[in-house]
Amino acid sequence: MSKLGDLIFGQDPKVRARVTMTLLAVYGYAASTAVLLYLVNTNLVAAHAAIPLVIFMWTGVPIFYLLVRTGMSNRLGSPGMDLPQCMFAMASILMAYVIVGPMRNAVLVLIALVMVFSMITLSPRQVRILGVSTLSCLGLAMAWLIMREPERIDARIEIIKFVLAGSTLPVLSAVATHVAKLRTRLVEQKQELQHALSMLHEVATRDELTGLYNRRHMMQLMEQQVKRQHRSGEGFCLALIDLDHFKQVNDHFGHQTGDMVLKAFADAVGKELRQTDVLARWGGEEFLLMLTAPDPGLQGAQASLARFQTALRQLVVGNGIRVTFSAGLTEHPIGEPLHETLERADHGLYAAKANGRDRVELVWPHKDQSHPKGASLAQDDQV
């Protein structure tokens, strides 16, 4: 049933909603067809008049369905074909008005039904177009009946009905227009609210200067990654990065240049990140890198940091300022508290600074006895 539903309505939520609204009309056309066939069977309506109308209605239904379901309606500039469908329904109603004889007064109720339906589907401008065209076509239909069957049609009654319709339809149209405006405004307010929420989320999760995630959000992402690791067993690595001699940049060139260095670093490294990796501004000139799926291991993480260093060698900020960094790199084993992994990365960072900067020091977890905690890379393992 689920596959059948996807076949009929589509999988895209917007398409499903449009197709659903289109198929709602099937109920109305089916009821109208049943009434017409009954009138034909009781000789109240001629078959040669009713059958073409039935064919007309059931030709339009599948056409509108296919246009909306296949997305061709998007290329026509009307994704839901709302106004064309309302105009088609009005045309069917007015043709029925002409052929059903004594039953035509009841047909006028269907016009109000379409106008009510237009409140939830059409724009204010489209509602006005529908109202004006319906009233105009109703007047033409009544005039045609008077001229074609003067002996059976009382012109005075038709004129009275038109006057009543002329006073009722504008009111319906005005109400429908007002509702459509309210609906449009609600949609706009929803979009504005979503945009505001998106902006608030950006402010709450992003560092204003670099555009990277801030410390608070990075903590949340790491906690989520720890939970994911418990479920899948997939490891991840953390690297605590500090820009070399950044205080001297601020002292000699000013904080504005320092900000340029931070932003340039974030932009250059951001281009080298894998989609699964996350870089955040940890504080000041410190950054935290989380390397995730597929499980990079320390060797894979080391290769990523090497790419960053290569990219930074091409970077010159301001008056010839070169950007390098020192980093402590470690792996997070399953079950270890996150703060211990961060402390180990911090120890590696201090070791990198003590050993001359512009380097990455690997610090192995407790469980790996071949590489005790605090051990740094040998010369052939240095980045």
pLDDT digits 0-9 by tens, 13-25: 888 888 888 888 8
Give 299-314 pLDDT, tens digit per residue.
Answer: 888 989 999 999 999 9
Residue 98's nearest CA partner among 143, 57, 31 is 143
What's residue 257's pLDDT?
A: 92
From-to residues of CATH 3.30.70.270 in the chain? 215-381
- How far from 196 is each of 184, 193, 203, 205, 209, CA to CA, in Å? 18, 5, 10, 14, 20
Residues of the chain with pLDDT under 50: 368-383
Report the Cα–Cα distance between both ends of the chain, in Å, rounded.
57
What's residue 381's pLDDT?
A: 38
Task: Write down the residue that tokens 């005005």 correspond to.
Answer: 174
Quote the distance between the C-alpha of residue 178 and its chain's center.
Answer: 28
Tokens of 250: 């601020």
Q: What is the rounded CA–CA span in Å between residue 238 and residue 308?
A: 15
Superfamily of domain 215-381 in CATH is: Reverse transcriptase/Diguanylate cyclase domain (3.30.70.270)
Give 155-199 pLDDT, tens digit per residue.
Answer: 888 888 888 888 877 887 788 778 778 878 888 888 888 888 887
Q: Is 314 helix (H, G, I), strand (E, B) or coil?
A: coil
What's residue 377's pLDDT?
A: 40
- How far from 373 is each of 30, 177, 295, 327, 377, CA to CA, in Å? 78, 72, 21, 16, 12
